[in-house]
Amino acid sequence: MSLFLYSPLSYCYQVKFLDDAKRFIEINKKPQKVVSLSPSITEILYEIGEEEHIKGITYYDEYVIEGAHIVGGFLYPSTKRIKEINPDIIFCSKRHRKIINGFEKNGVKIIVFEPNDIPSLYRTIKILSDIFEKKDNGLRLIKKIKYQIDHIQKKLSHIKKQQRLRVMRIMGRDVLMTPTINSFQTQLIKLAGGIPPNFQGQGSIIEVSKRDWLNFNPQVVYFCGGDKRLINKIKTLPGWKDVSAIKNNRIYSYPCALTCRLSAHTGYFVSWLASDIYSKEFLDDRYWVNKDKIISKRKIPISLGYIKSVNIIKSSIFDFINKTILITFEKPINIISTLEGPRYNIINIGNHYTPPPCWRITHHLGLEKSRKRIYNTLQIKEEDSSLLFTGADMDNLAMIKKEYKDLAVYVFATAGVKTNAMRMSKDMGCYYEIDPGTINMIIMTNVKLTPRAMTRAIITATEAKSALLNDLDIRSSYNPQIYQATGTGTDNIIIVQGDGEFTLDNAGGHSKLGELIAKAVYDAVKIAIEKQNRLIEDRSIFKKLNERDISIFDIVYNSELIPKNKKELFVQKLEDLFLKKEYASIMQEFLVLSDEYEKGHIKDISAVSKLGQLVLSSISGKENKEVKTFVNDNNIPKVLKIGLNSFLTAVEESVTNQ
């Protein structure tokens, strides 16, 4: 059992505990410069409000932390980059033996945190909140996770043991792997009401044979990230494709940040997983802990004469927390909604967030019945109200106001672009039904708009949104290596006719109204994307590659030219190169050139090949050295292959000379 001691004297800072490597840690001064090599710890620190002192993170971290430098990947962080930060504390895992041995000698406090079950997660949060004097925030976070897990346990109590489903976490690229019985991932399956396989083995992950796969016969399987390739392979293999989960298409995908670690959002993941496994059961209100109701309202001040109120409403719907921005008018007003078309004499408009645990539940119920339930809970009528629907959390809402003399434009936006972004005219449409929006906007002005101005405002707003996605280099979710996104497949806009002393008839690009709408939309969607997806303009080359579904680790480990005993070193050397601004910028040039080549703007790539030669010469110090073909993945565009091969050839030269 870990020891935890804390001095209660407010004038005497002192924190003592055993870390997860069973080492006694004593801290007598609040740390000012911290490096976190564990995304799990970074997430907890952010959620308890302690991002101020985080100065170093890995490129696997999801959070945008101002002033934090990337020090490499989780497996092979750069000691040079960490030294440049000169941290007081380094949070790491047992795997970081080189970091532990190297920095501990120099007096840097090394703390190992590897929560491997729910109690150890709570303990980690408590210690971190004490170290950074965020005790109340830490207790609130623990309380939130406990509530989410306890809530699911109450719902699951109505499902008999013989009704429980067999659930397996799928991992791997070429070989099927799954967590062992003692892994925290297996514990999460149990908390979500699933029956996990009872596979024994060394470590936390084990290879699964075809015989074990068929004997267990999973009814639900789930995966994250690049594991999708393995799933697609299993779907085609005789025998492997014959288990219940594959035949019934009960294959679910979740963000790696939820599946691969215990952290601040673990309770949220348990809720989501349980709801996907038992979505039909959870649709039945006999399984509910809470009835449909409004829980709270928070007013947002706005100075528009025809607006009666603007509220963020938190509600319980389908037994999970939903959130809505609801705008109520002083008198009936006309609107245009891209979800519903023209609507007349409207009293309420809004944007409603349905959380992931409800998604599959509402799918079973159907869109119309789900809407009716939402309207009833919010105590508004469908005949005089109009809502948009989104999976983007209303906590990440952006509100922007733009003014010119007496003219004012307000834009409320939510945006999520990680799973549904697409490039119109290139990506394929597969559905006829209308889905809830992913980039949703409500646009209001302090003047009255004619129908012409209202419809033209939709074009103006759409162009501004697409310009922002282009500037941010948001990738298509379906063809990320080739296309930038122009929007998501389910975007929607509400334009309010408004009221005022003046009436405007033009919202096009040449008009002042159009300019304000475009600028407000651009800024609002940018903020909403940063809040929801943590995507900013100045993100690392590592994230840019990952957004194109290109993994440095996979490229190296899949290359037949790199010996097995050198692969780890290749990854480390390539990461070190991309940590240098000049080489990160050159790789960014290859990304830009690749997009231009795929659009047909560049016909001859001989200049690109010369750039690759220059990169190789610059790094290796040798002229006219041949660029080798390390990357054979046909999914990676030609120009990106040239860039990656030039860097890898340079890395080989470095490794050979080492």
Task: State the pLDDT confidence band at 658, using cuts at 50, 70 and 90.
Answer: low
Q: Say if residue 312's pLDDT is above 50.
A: yes
Average pLDDT of the residues in 619-637:
89
* Inside any domain, residue 220: yes
pLDDT of residue 154: 97
pLDDT of residue 427: 61
Helix, strand and coil content of the chain, in percent to the nearest 5, comes to 40, 20, 35
Task: For residue 25, give its domain range.
Answer: 4-114
Average pLDDT of the residues in 141-162:
96
| Residue 126 CB neighbour total at 10 angstroms | 18
Q: What three-state secondary structure class fits 87?
A: coil
- Of 504, 533, 562, the last residue of a domain is 533
User: What stretches of 157-227 show up as alpha helix (H) in DSSP?
Assistant: 184-191, 210-216
282 and 332 housed in the same domain = no
Q: Say if residue 415's pLDDT is above 70.
A: yes
Average pLDDT of the residues in 72-80:
93
pLDDT of residue 59: 93
pLDDT of residue 429: 53
Tell me, what CATH number does 327's domain have?
3.60.70
List C-alpha distances in Å: 251 to 42, 155, 631. Answer: 30, 22, 30
Q: Say if residue 432's pLDDT is above 80.
A: no
265-277 pLDDT tens trace: 999 999 999 999 9
pLDDT of residue 1: 38
Average pLDDT of the residues in 345-356:
97
270 and 406 housed in the same domain = no
pLDDT of residue 430: 47
236 and 316 housed in the same domain = no
337 and 450 housed in the same domain = yes
pLDDT of residue 207: 93
- How far is it, in rounded angstroms, from Cα 473 to Cα 486? 10
Mean pLDDT value across the chain: 92
509-562 pLDDT tens trace: 999 999 999 999 999 999 999 999 999 999 999 999 999 999 999 999 999 999
562-614 pLDDT tens trace: 999 999 999 999 999 999 999 999 999 999 999 999 999 999 999 999 999 99
Q: When comparing pLDDT for 106 and 472, which is higher? A: 472
* Inside any domain, residue 325: yes
Task: State the pLDDT confidence band at 633, using cuts at 50, 70 and 90.
Answer: confident
Q: When comparing pLDDT for 5 and 385, which is higher? A: 385
601 and 639 housed in the same domain = yes
**If you search the block for the tokens 């990656």, which residue do you land on?**
644
Q: Say if residue 433's pLDDT is above 70.
A: no
pLDDT of residue 657: 67
Q: Say if residue 7's pLDDT is above 90.
A: no
* Inside any domain, residue 222: yes
- Of 513, 533, 553, the last residue of a domain is 533
226 and 311 housed in the same domain = no
- How far is it, in rounded angstroms, from Cα 264 to Cα 83? 28
569 and 610 housed in the same domain = yes
pLDDT of residue 92: 95
pLDDT of residue 637: 95
512 and 553 housed in the same domain = no
Instruction: Name the phi and psi angles at 294, rounded to 5.
Output: -80, 130
Assess contact for 128 and 138: CB atoms under 8 A.
Answer: yes
Q: Say if residue 618's pLDDT is above 60.
A: yes
User: What stretches of 157-209 show up as alpha helix (H) in DSSP?
Assistant: 184-191
pLDDT of residue 11: 57
Cα torsion for 567, 568, 569, 572, to the nearest 10°? Answer: 120
- Of 493, 512, 533, the last residue of a domain is 533
166 and 231 housed in the same domain = yes
User: What stretches of 192-278 show up as alpha helix (H) in DSSP?
Assistant: 210-216, 228-234, 244-247, 256-259, 266-277
pLDDT of residue 579: 95
Tell me, what CATH number does 88's domain have?
3.40.50.1980
Domain count, the chain: 4
